[in-house]
Amino acid sequence: MYNIIAVIAMRNITGNNALGNDFFDRKFEIARYWDKLETDNLLLLAPRRVGKTSIMKTMASDASQHGFAAVYVDVSDSENELRFVQKVWSSLLSDCPDVAARDQISGWLQNSWAGGLVKSFKKAGGYGFSIEIDAGQTSWQQVGEEVSALLGRVDARCLIFIDELPVFVLKLLGEGSQASVERVHQFLYWLRTIRQQFTIRWMLAGSVGLDTVAARINVADAINDLHIEKLDGFAHEIADDFLQALSASYGMKLGPDVRMRILERVGSDRPIPYYLQLMFDQLRQIGNEPTVANVDAAVENLLRPAHKNYFDYWRQRLFEELGRADAEAAILLLNRCCYEQGGELRSTLSLSLAAMVADPDQRESKLRFLLDVLQNDGYLIESERERWRFYSPLLRAFWMKRVAPPPAGSPQEGER
């Protein structure tokens, strides 16, 4: 049990990343990640809204305590490979908290071959530099390798947290033409070479599974050097402590029955922190002593059209990650699973794909792939007797109300 007084300043964050006093627990996970970073580069796989960005930013701010000069970089807005290289190295020059390391990097870069391609070095935040590269006829690979080699000479151990790498990769992939697939191949294998050739430690993550994207275009070996870590929701007891800490911060009274009902509606197996925060926000609007009935009313309010954006990215993400054909097949499986609270039999799910994939062997392969993706990404979980059910009751409720058509023979719903 946490000392609630110690976290009384914690705020309920439903938009931005939870950092500082607003960041709760994850001590076990972070300790494990630091341990693995001593020997390996990491790929962090996590469902959306589970807190991966908050963890990476927290680790980056604490990296010096573990002997690393670290930076956090979000590459989702990088439009091409050169901009990816530029953004990563600019972050090291402007944000690296190790002053000596930052000075070494900027000094070497300005006097290096790659430095001759830099159009401008701009002061950033009173120290360090941001860079703008004009590669001209020089390949982005050469620029990245040159700067990586410089980083390998830094006295401090460099650690780079790359967030939303799969989003950047999908941007390169576009509609999936042969040329764009080859482009992604080159980038992922180049980044693998960088990881293996230079003494820089990497931790990669994203709101879409990089492993799924790599498997989709048949380049899984481009990331097989990464140690995979999975980030899940809170353990049940941690989630309960989290709700108590929030209620103490805001002077609310959340009794054990109310907290239990919140966990039941959000998902008591491994509740996703973001949805606990959404529920708490809804209950704050009711008053200081919410009841079990208020919890159910809060869920119904979250499922209204006005709050559709809280959940709709779960559907959108499938198209981004899988492409249209596989996304439509995955949605068909999810539609089947949402009708039964206890989940759907695997054999029934296989039959539901028959119209899309007639050959039994190919259908079995497709089903196995899609169930792996849906389980890894936090949609489904396999229960006893080969039944597949929604990981989160709250997501299931949204899916039934806003995505899946009414099951055959049921009355048609009104506004969906």
Angle at 113 between CA 112 and CA 117, to 5 degrees: 105
* Confidence label for 17 from pLDDT (cuts 50, 70 and 90): confident
Task: Please tell me whether residue 74 adopts helix, strand or coil conformation.
Answer: strand
How many angstroms separate the CA atoms of 262 and 264, rounded?
5
How many angstroms separate the CA atoms of 208 and 321, rounded?
6
Q: Is residue 332 within a helix (H) or strand (E), and if so which, with residue range?
A: helix 324-338
Average pLDDT (359-377) is 90
Q: List the structure tokens of 114.
A: 């790659």
pLDDT of residue 387 exceeding 80, the answer is: yes
Instruction: Supply the DSSP string of 53-70, one letter for each residue.
Output: HHHHHHHHHHGGGGTEEE
Whether residue 205 contacts residue 43, with contact meaning beta carbons closer than 8 Å, is answered with: yes
Task: Please tell me whether residue 228 adopts helix, strand or coil conformation.
Answer: strand
The pLDDT tens digits of the residues spanning 188-240 come to: 999 998 888 877 899 999 877 888 888 888 899 999 999 999 898 999 999 99
Position with higher pLDDT, 97 vs 346: 346
- Residue ranges of domains in the chain: 26-230, 314-402
How many angstroms separate the CA atoms of 404 and 416, rounded?
10
Instruction: Record the pTM.
Output: 0.84
How far apart, in Å, are the Cα atoms of 4 and each of 241, 245, 250? Answer: 8, 5, 12
**CATH topology agreement for domains 26-230 and 314-402:** no
pLDDT of residue 125 exceeding 50, the answer is: no
How many angstroms separate the CA atoms of 18 and 351, rounded?
43
* The CATH number fitting domain 26-230, selected from 1.10.3430.10, 1.10.2020.10, 3.40.50.2300, 3.40.50.300: 3.40.50.300
CATH 3.30.43 fits 314-402, yes or no: no
